[in-house]
Structures are given as structure tokens and as C-alpha cells.
A = this chain, B = another copy of it.
């Protein structure tokens, strides 16, 4: 990784606003990540989360509350005939945006931590059947190795960067427009 501009001297700046740090603090616990995995698998109900993840109901309640507070999940009331009203937990746009994180972890584990039996779950593209990967690439389509990534000081939006710098709520839902850039948004399908 190459440090550019004001970042060039690594001792001249601190990473106190680091997005990686913030993200890890927000959703980096094991149980939170496993709950998100289940949400990606389609789970919506409290006790399904607890049972499928294999954590206690107390932890489930606590993490689910945090994930809702952080905006990754939303509570929606539902009611089955003859049953009382319950809450289900559904992914928000922000929660869905965490997919690359979950899959990147999963793929790394597949590659480096699965024993001779191989990985337990295989991911493919439902449309074409090809294996799923998580890539680091630039908007021009090049895949990058570590030493091809350049880090420069950030700041408010620059036209180039394809996404809303804002954060909070600004859903990328359907393509927030954002950057003129002409790339980096939703794929064709």
C-alpha cells in the first residue's frame, strides 16, 4: 500500500478517525457478524436467529437491539393467524452493504481455515452458476494487489469518488447518483 500526500510520513498522522476501526467497533463482534450471516441466509425471527447462530437468547436480544440501533436491521411487526403480534428483523440497505465484509471473511476462512474436508458452504452466482469471489478493484475494472493500492487524505466528497460521503441513511438504494464518475455503481444484469 502506498501512502501519498500528507499521509506519506506515517508518523505524521494518526488513524483516529479510521473507518476500519469505526466499522469494527460498530459491528465487529462475533455474534453480530454471525447474526448478519443469518440475516443474509434469510432468517428473520428472534428464536431462529438464536438457535441457528448458536448463541443464547440474551446475547441475541442484545446484539439484535444494537444492530437495529445501528441501522443494519429493522424491526417489523408481523402476525400469523391465531398468534400474537411479533417482530421480525429484516435487512436494511445499510445491512445489505455489509455483504462484502461477511463474504470476504467467509472466503478467507474457506481458503485458509477449512481443513481437508474443504469449505462447508459453496457460494455461486444464482444466475450463471459461477463461484463467487470478493475482489478489490478500482472503478476502471482493474483488480488490485496490496501494493497497487494508494491511500491519500480524504475529506468531503470529491466528484470522483462514487459514493455518498455522508453516511447516515443516504441509501445507495438503486444508485444514489452521487459521483459523475460513470462507474462503480450497480452492475448490469
Contact = CB atoms under 8 A, between A and B. Distances in A.
Interface of A: 1-3, 7, 10-11, 14-26, 28, 30, 33-34, 37, 40-43, 48, 51-54, 71, 91, 94, 96-128, 130-158, 160-168, 172-173, 175, 178-179, 181, 183-189
B125 A149 contact: yes
Contacts of A126: 2, 147-150
A57 to B, nearest CB: 17
Copies in the complex: 2
B114 A19 contact: yes
Given A10-B41, A18-B37, A24-B30, A108 B98 contact: yes
A2 B127 CA distance: 11
A185 B143 contact: yes
Contacts of A125: 138, 140, 142, 144, 148-150
Q: Give the most central of A7, A15, A188: most B CB within 10 Å.
A: A15
A166 B124 contact: no
Contacts of A91: 146
B130 A138 contact: yes
Q: Give the most central of A99, A124, A172: most B CB within 10 Å.
A: A124
Given A116-B165, A128-B142, A142-B181, A52 B19 contact: no
A23 B139 contact: no
A106 B23 contact: yes
B133 A173 contact: yes
Contacts of A100: 100, 104, 107-108, 134-136
Contacts of A139: 130-131, 133
Contacts of A105: 19-20, 23-24, 28, 101
